[in-house]
C-alpha cells in the first residue's frame, strides 16, 4: 500500500475516493490527467470512453463487475458528445438509478449551447463546465475544481451507504 506525506497531509492512496472520467477523446483524457497531477490530486482516476461504458461501469456489468477493482466513484467528469450513448443518456441513467443523489456529476464538455446546458441541469448535473481551449486554462479550471469540489464541498451519503463527507483526502498539495 502506497502512502504519501507532503505538506502536512497524510493519506493512503487506496483510500482516496475515485474520480471517473467519461470522455471519448484520448487527448482530452491525457490533458485532464496531467492537470490533475499538477494540481496535486492523487485521487485514483478511471476513464471510460463512451456512454455505454460509463453505464456498464456504474452498474458493475461486464469487465467492471469487480467492485474492489472498479468501485462506485465519488465524482464523475462527463463529456456530452460521445459514441454509444451520449452524456445526456448517462445523466438520465444515473439519476434514475440513484434518485437520492450521492453521485457528483460535473459535465465537462465543449458544448456551449444554452439549451444543452439547461438540459444537463434538468437531468441532474451538479455543475456544467466548458472545456478550455488550451492547457493553461484547463490547469486553472482543474485547480479551481480541486479547491471547490474536492476540498471544500461537503457530500451527502453515497449510494453504497457510506458517508462521503469531504472527498479531498486524496489531495497532496
Domain boundaries, the chain: 16-153
pLDDT in tens, the chain (173 residues): 444 433 334 444 556 789 999 999 999 999 999 999 999 998 899 999 999 999 999 999 999 999 999 999 989 999 999 989 899 999 999 999 987 667 899 999 998 999 999 999 999 999 999 999 999 999 999 999 998 888 887 766 655 565 554 444 333 33
Q: Which CATH class is domain 16-153?
A: alpha beta
The string of pLDDT tens digits covering residues 19-38 is 999 999 999 999 999 999 99
Q: What are the distances in angstroms from CA 10 to CA 15, 131, 153, 161, 167?
A: 11, 31, 20, 25, 14
Question: Residue 47 has which C-alpha cell?
Answer: 476513464
Q: What is the pTM of this model?
A: 0.83
Amino acid at each position: 500500500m502506497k502512502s504519501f506525506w507532503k505538506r502536512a497531509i497524510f493519506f493512503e492512496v487506496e483510500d482516496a475516493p475515485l474520480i471517473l472520467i467519461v470522455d471519448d477523446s484520448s487527448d482530452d483524457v491525457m490533458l485532464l490527467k496531467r492537470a490533475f497531477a499538477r494540481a496535486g490530486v492523487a485521487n485514483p482516476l478511471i476513464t471510460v470512453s463512451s456512454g455505454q461504458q460509463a453505464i456498464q461501469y456504474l452498474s458493475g456489468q461486464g469487465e467492471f463487475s469487480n467492485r474492489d477493482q472498479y468501485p462506485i466513484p465519488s465524482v464523475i467528469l462527463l463529456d456530452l458528445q460521445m459514441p454509444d450513448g451520449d452524456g445526456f443518456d448517462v445523466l438520465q441513467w444515473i439519476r434514475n438509478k440513484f434518485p437520492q443523489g450521492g453521485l457528483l456529476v460535473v459535465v465537462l464538455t465543449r458544448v456551449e449551447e444554452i439549451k444543452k446546458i439547461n438540459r444537463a441541469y434538468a437531468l441532474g448535473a451538479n455543475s456544467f463546465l466548458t472545456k478550455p481551449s488550451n492547457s493553461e486554462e484547463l490547469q486553472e479550471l482543474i485547480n479551481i475544481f480541486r479547491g471547490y469540489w474536492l476540498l471544500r464541498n461537503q457530500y451527502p451519503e453515497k449510494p453504497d451507504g457510506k458517508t462521503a463527507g469531504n472527498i479531498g483526502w486524496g489531495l497532496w498539495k
